[in-house]
Amino acid sequence: MITQFQITNWLPSSMTATIAACSIALAAPAIAQDAYPSADETLDWTIAFGPGGGNDIMARTIINILTKYDLYPGDIAPENRAGGSGAVGWGYLFSQDGESYGISTTSGSFVTTPLQADTPWQPEDFTPVALLATDDLVLVVNGDSKVQNIDQFIEMAKANPMNIGGTGTVNVDFIVPSLFAQAAGFEFDYVSFNSMADQTTALLSGALDSMVSNPGEVLGLIESGELRPLVYSGQSTPAALGDVPTMGDIGFDIGVSMPRGLILAPNAPNEVQQWWIETMKQVVETPEWATYIESNTLTPTVIYGEEFRDFLVKTKNGFETVLISIGAID
């Protein structure tokens, strides 16, 4: 039996942009001349996937907020280090053991990549800052596709297996359609991409039959009619997707969400971890963060520090059970 697990959701209290801006400015951490962070040190921000994907969007949103509210005194250097379903980027951060100025955002691949690849690191090896949100996926086809709805997709896939594109290999983008296909009784071929831009291009060009994506990454293409959404993997369909059914609505609730968080290099100093925890508590209260959550159809799910490490271990164990049950790993 496939073990399903869900993440408890909560919504942040509303606040006006003016109040938020004032509170952030007043609450900004005091920084002594020799204390962390130093204005003379550049923050090396690893983005483990290519430009335009969910990981990239979240990282750059946080960076913009840190900059706007003067929450970080030095320069921040974001760098896309894509490859190996995140293994390259997070492997780079892993090599910065004990460093104070290495940081990265996480996604579902942060949990699943070590389960199916020989990485030298596990999710719990890094210094946890915060789980910030969870998100789910929408299955889409080209707007010119003859597939008009999810019932037609399932019927056609049963007759002739389709291909479904996703970012990464054995990660959430693979788990979600695998569980859905298993429940709905069809087969498919999974096509892995290193970036959302590449897989979107493949779908629009006709090289793919369909793909899964975070809704926020493709809303513009959905609104323009270039892509057609068929089904959503979360518990309730975001307003931006209109009357698109959830997998649960049609009898195939899979109970898997993607954790998005923030981590530091392994064994980062405790005072550095605490500084980032306190700073992220301010970031998630800004109107810009609320806009990011809404526009990317994410669920705000926030836990800090060692509780985040515990969450990663439990999530890894749950994902491992799912992957074994569908035969993706031994």
pLDDT tens readout for residues 127-141: 999 999 988 899 999
Pick the more confident residue, 4 or 136: 136
Lowest mean pLDDT among 35-49, 176-190, 316-330: 316-330
Max Cα–Cα distance, the chain, nearest Å: 68
pLDDT band for 22, please (50, 70, 90 cuts): very low
Q: Name all domains of the chain by residue range, CATH numbers in brackets.
A: 17-135+257-325 (3.40.190.150), 138-241 (3.40.190.10)
Residue 259: pLDDT above 80?
A: yes
Average pLDDT over residues 274-294: 96
Terminal Cα distance for the chain, rounded = 16
Strands 299-304 and 127-135: antiparallel
Average pLDDT over residues 102-129: 94
Q: What is the pLDDT of residue 177?
A: 95
Residue 7: pLDDT above 50?
A: no
Name the burial class of residue 21, with classes exposed (0-12), middle (13-18) and buried (19+) by CB atoms within 10 angstroms of its CB: middle
Could you give the C-alpha distances from 114 to 46, 118, 185, 234, in angstroms and in order? 18, 7, 29, 24
Q: How far apart, in whole angstroms, are the C-alpha atoms of residue 49 and residue 85?
A: 8
The percent of residues in the chain predicted with pLDDT above 70, rounded, is 90
Average pLDDT over residues 44-50: 97
* Average pLDDT over the chain, rounded to an integer: 88
pTM of the entire structure? 0.71
